[in-house]
Amino acid sequence: MSTAFGSPPLEPVRLDVRRELERPEARLDPSAAYARLRRLGPVLRWRTWTQDSLVITRYEEVMNVLRDPRVANDRRTLGDGGKGPLERWWTPSIMKLFLGSMVMKDPPDHRRLRNLVQKAFTPAMVDNLTGRVEQITAELLDAAARKPVFDLIADLALPLPLTVISEMLGVPEPERMEFRALIGKVLDPDGMSLTGFIFNYPNMVRLNRFLRRLVQLRREQPGDDLVTALVQADVGGDRFSEDEMISMVFLLLFAGHETTVNLIGNGVLALLQHPEQLQRLRERPELIDSAIEELLRFTNPVGTVAPRFVREDLEIAGFKIPRGSTLTLLLASANFDEAAFADADRLDITRSPNRHVSFGFGAHYCLGAPLARVEARVAIPALLQRFPGLRLAVPADQVRWRANMGLRGLASLPLAVG
C-alpha cells in the first residue's frame, strides 16, 4: 500500500457480495464463488441500502490491511461524529455492548482489555481442558451411537464447544440451551430486517439480562471459572468496568461456540466429500494437526472479520481508498487465493506450509485459537474412530447451510453410522 495517487484511479466493480455468496451454487462450491470475486478485482464495491463498503478479496491485500495501523477497528476513532448503523439511539444495549467489545477497539483500549482477559485465559487453562473435552466428546458419541442416523451439528459439533465454553465461563447447566437459543435469534440474519429487528428486540433485552445475571452470580458466588477470574482480574490496578465485563462475556460465549461448531461441522463434511483424504487420515492419525489447519483453510468457519475503518487516504492494489471508507475483508477468499496457496481449491491434509488466515492476523488474532484446535483435534478423530462406516445420510446438495455470510456453517448434517 502507498499513499501516492499518481495514476488515474481504478473504479471497483460494484456487486452485492452477500447475495453473490449466499447463492446455492456458492454454498456448494465456495472456492469457485470466491475465485469469481477475485477475478472481478482485488477491491469491490458492496453497496446496498444497509451498507456501503469496499471488499478486499485477495490474500496479500487482506494481510496488508490486517497489519496496517492506518486501518482501525473502532469506527469512532475516525472522529467524524458519524454513527454506524449499530450506534443509533434506538439500538438495543446488547448491540451497543457488542460494539464495545475488544474486537471493535484499537490500542490502547484494545491492548488493555486483551491483557485483562489473557490473564484469565492462559494457555495452561486450555491445555488442562483436553481431558474434559475428551470426556464430553465420548458422552456425546455414546448418545449418537444409539441412533441409526444422527445429526452431527445437534449431537456433537454444537453441544461440545457450547458445553466447554459454558463450563469455562461458569454458565449454569440449565441455562445453556436458553443462552444458545437467544444468541441464535439475536444473530439471525432475518432479524436484521426492520420487522425482524422489532420481533427480535425482546430477545436482545433477554440476552442482556442473562449476561448481567451471570456476572452478578459470580460476584456473589465466586467459582473456579472464567467469569469469576474476569470479575477478579486486575492488571496493575486496572479492572473491567461493568459494561466491559458484559461485552467480554458476550464475546467469549459467542466466539467460543458459534465458530468451532462450524470447524467441526464443515470439517467432517469436507472429509466425507473427499474420501481419499479421509482414508489417509484414518490410516495416518498423526496427520490430525495438519488436517485441522487445512480444514480451517478449506472450510472457512469464519468467512470475514469485523469491519475495518480507514483513518487516512491510502491505496490498495492501485485502488484509491479514501479516509472514512469501511473495509470488508474476505478471509475465505484469501484462503482460496492461488497466489498464496498452490492448488488452493484442493483439500490436502498434508499441506505445508499452510499460512491460512482463518484465525485472522495481527493485534486481533483469535484469542481462542488454541481452544478451537483442541476441540477439533479431539472431536474429529474420536468420531472417525467410533464410526468406521460413517457416511452422509442425505445427498451433499441437500445439506442445509445457515444463511450467514460472516460465519460459514451448517444448520444440520445427518450422518449414517451403519
Q: Which chain residues interact with ligand HEM by CB under 6 A?
A: 102-103, 114, 165, 251-252, 255-256, 259-260, 263, 301-302, 305-306, 358-360, 364, 366-368, 371-372
Could you tell me whether strands 410-412 and 13-14 are parallel, antiparallel, or unpaired per DSSP bridges?
Answer: unpaired
Cα separation, 7 vs 228, in Å, equals: 56
Cα separation, 319 vs 343, in Å, equals: 28
Cβ-count burial 213-222 (b if 16+ within 10 Å, e if not): ebbebbeeee
Residue number, 152 or 393, with CB nearest to ligand HEM: 152
Determine the residue with CB nearest ligand HEM.
368
Q: How far is the CB of 294 from ligand HEM (least distance, A)?
A: 13
- Paired residues of 2 in beta bridges: 315
- CA pseudo-torsion sign 217, 223, 227, 228: positive
Q: How far is the CB of 372 from ligand HEM (least distance, A)?
A: 3
With left for phi above 0 and alpha for psi between -120 and 50, is residue 237 left, alpha or beta? left
Q: How far is the CB of 389 from ligand HEM (least distance, A)?
A: 27
User: At which residue does the C-alpha cell 483442541 appear?
Assistant: 374
Q: How far is the CB of 151 from ligand HEM (least distance, A)?
A: 19
Nearest in space to 37 (alpha carbons), one of 58, 54, 53, 52: 58
Q: How far is the CB of 156 from ligand HEM (least distance, A)?
A: 15
Cα separation, 313 vs 74, in Å, equals: 17
Cα separation, 223 vs 98, in Å, equals: 25
Residue number, 110 or 320, with CB nearest to ligand HEM: 110
Q: How far is the CB of 204 from ligand HEM (least distance, A)?
A: 20
- What distance lies between CA 81 and its chain's CA centroid? 29
The DSSP output letter for 2 is B
Cα separation, 406 vs 306, in Å, equals: 9
Q: How far is the CB of 158 from ligand HEM (least distance, A)?
A: 13
- Strand stretches in 254-313, DSSP E: 308-310
Cα separation, 13 vs 368, in Å, equals: 35
Residue number, 67 or 147, with CB nearest to ligand HEM: 67
Residue number, 46 or 359, with CB nearest to ligand HEM: 359
Q: How far is the CB of 96 from ligand HEM (least distance, A)?
A: 17
Cα dihedral 108→256→270→44 (10° resolution) = -40
Residue number, 191 or 409, with CB nearest to ligand HEM: 409
Q: How far is the CB of 351 from ligand HEM (least distance, A)?
A: 17
